[in-house]
Amino acid sequence: MIEIKDLYKAFGKQKVINGANLTIPDREVVTIMGKSGSGKSVLIKHIIGLLSPDSGSVLIDGVDITTLEVSELDRIREKLGVLFQGGALFDSMTVDENVAFQLNEKTKLGKGEISDRVMQALEDVGLKDMGKKYPAELSGGMKKRAGLARALITEPAIVLFDEPTTGLDPIISRSIHRLISTTHDKYRYTAVIISHEVPSIIEECGTPGEIMNSSNPVIKQFITGSLEGPIESLS
């Protein structure tokens, strides 16, 4: 679904992305981790097409978006949903209006169908009966949930999560990660999660035997249940 080939991007003398290569299969959930300022958000802006690389290519469903005209790029963007760090909700709109925004702007659906889809999307993210509230009346976690409902309302093929748990306490952070999992099961989108919170989302692929014999210190600590190790030092 997403393929990044030999991607380079610099701002002046500062090299931000230096020859990145990445393949993200259809309907997989992939997390890109790194410290603050390491270029994670710059990478996601290339996937959206908000930035153009100095060299290299970004393919979405086989199409190199770095070569497209604006109108062609807009059609590709219709496959994308984005959950921004702060939710990026419109303060002057209710939750219902925020979630319905794309359907009102880009489709010819009737009011009744839009209302039904908004209600379902809010129920899917745990915000049933919250549609009449304004963003200022929502907690940080609720804003993220509303932002996810808006990202899902068009049933995109790809959803990009830019630091989805930034500013949230550990319990709410876990609920957001669980929400990503449950909505992925239902909507079957390809997910790209940008995060620096290693203990919350780290995963290792392999057979049970390979996992048990992993040399990854975090995986070893998880298996043994030890209180000492990298997870403690990062908490």
Q: 18-69, pLDDT tens digit by residue?
A: 999 999 999 999 988 877 778 888 999 999 999 999 999 999 999 999 999 9
Q: Which helix (H) or strand (E) holds 192?
A: strand 190-195
Cβ burial, residue 233 (10 Å; 0-12/13-18/19+): exposed
Other residues' Cβ atoms within 10 Å of the Cβ of residue 73: 17
Q: Which residues of 19-29 are buried (b: 16+ CB within 10 A; e: fewer)?
A: ebeeebeeeeb
Domain ranges, ordered by start, for the chain: 2-203
Q: What is the pLDDT of residue 167?
A: 79
H helices present in the chain, as ranges? 40-48, 70-77, 95-106, 111-124, 140-152, 170-187, 198-201, 208-212, 217-224, 230-234
- Length in residues, the chain: 235
Sheet containing strand 55-60, strands side by side: 14-24, 2-11, 55-60, 63-64
Sole residue written with tokens 């199409």: 63
231 has a pLDDT exceeding 90: no
Q: Summarize the confidence of residues 99-107 as an average pLDDT.
A: 91
Q: Which stretch of 63-77, 106-120, 210-224 has the lowest confidence by average pLDDT?
A: 210-224
Say whether domain 2-203 belongs to CATH 3.40.50.300: yes
Query: Mind listing the pLDDT tens digit for each residue in 141-181?
Result: 899 999 999 999 999 999 999 888 887 777 788 888 889 99
Query: Mind listing the pLDDT tens digit for each residue in 176-215?
Result: 888 999 999 999 999 999 887 655 555 566 777 887 888 8
Q: Which residues of 111-125 are buried (b: 16+ CB within 10 A; e: fewer)?
A: eeebeebbeebbebb
Q: What is the pLDDT of residue 232?
A: 46
Q: Which residues of 136-164 are buried (b: 16+ CB within 10 A; e: fewer)?
A: eebebbbbbbbbbbbbbbbebbbbbbbbb
Q: What CA–CA distances, in Å, run from 125 to 101, 110, 190? A: 17, 23, 17
Q: Is 216 left (phi over 0), alpha (psi -120 to 50) or beta?
A: beta
Say which residue, 182 or 222, is predicted with more confidence: 182
- Quick one: pLDDT band at residue 84, thresholds 50, 70, 90? confident
Pairing of strands 2-11, 55-60: antiparallel
pTM of the model: 0.78
Q: What is the pLDDT of residue 200?
A: 54
CA distance 47 to 42: 9
